[in-house]
Structure 1
Amino acid sequence: MGLCACSIQIPLFLSLNLPNLSNSLGATMTSPLCLAMGLLIDTFDKYAGKDGDNKTLTRAELEELLHNEMPTAECRCQHEVCEFFNSLDLNKDGVVDFKEYVIYVAALTAICKK
């Protein structure tokens, strides 16, 4: 999965060739921001596709991701997991895609910064 599947051309980022970056982003670019971007991609890819489509997270895959990657954020019941999943699934297609996942991580990061 590349970092950017869109065709938007932003002059500042043309030299990065964003559509062709791979999951090894962190291995090829060593700035902390590039490493963080690579980790976002790698973490999503680690859990997406276990139940089928590797471009989305099902509720079960998201629950596993939260349990393994954020163990202090314990979900106390299936109802909480369901509510959380539904809040992430912005287009209500029954799965969480990479953009929806990144929006969640960015919002969580902003909350932690406060």
Structure 2
Amino acid sequence: MSIQIHVIDANGHQQRLQADPGSSLMELLRDQSSGVEGVCGGCCACGTCHIVLESDWQPLLGTAQPEEEALLDALDERTSGSRLSCQLRLSQEMDGLSLRIVPAEC
């Protein structure tokens, strides 16, 4: 069963993307949207996959691990809903996820 993700990309365009559970959110956004570069390939080292989760989704996806937190702290556009999409694996519970892609800072 596929998961539907609601995205506002880096250009302000709204999209609905579909993916399979277990896949990487970063790879989905990089391959099917605009604005996520994923320069480091998902190693939590660059910040080019920065997203902001809609407020309803923030508590459901838990908190960032220390390595992700450190990188997010270095970004100018960080908000309370900021996450690195490379650190999120899609699960069936994420069906309907709503997010905004933040333009890369580097």
Scaled by the length of structure 1, what TM-score is found? 0.29
When Rg is computed on C-alpha atoms for both structures, the one with the higher figure is 1
RCO higher in structure (CA 8 A, sep ≥6): 2
Scaled by the length of structure 2, what TM-score is found? 0.31
Which protein is richer in helix relative to its size?
Answer: 1
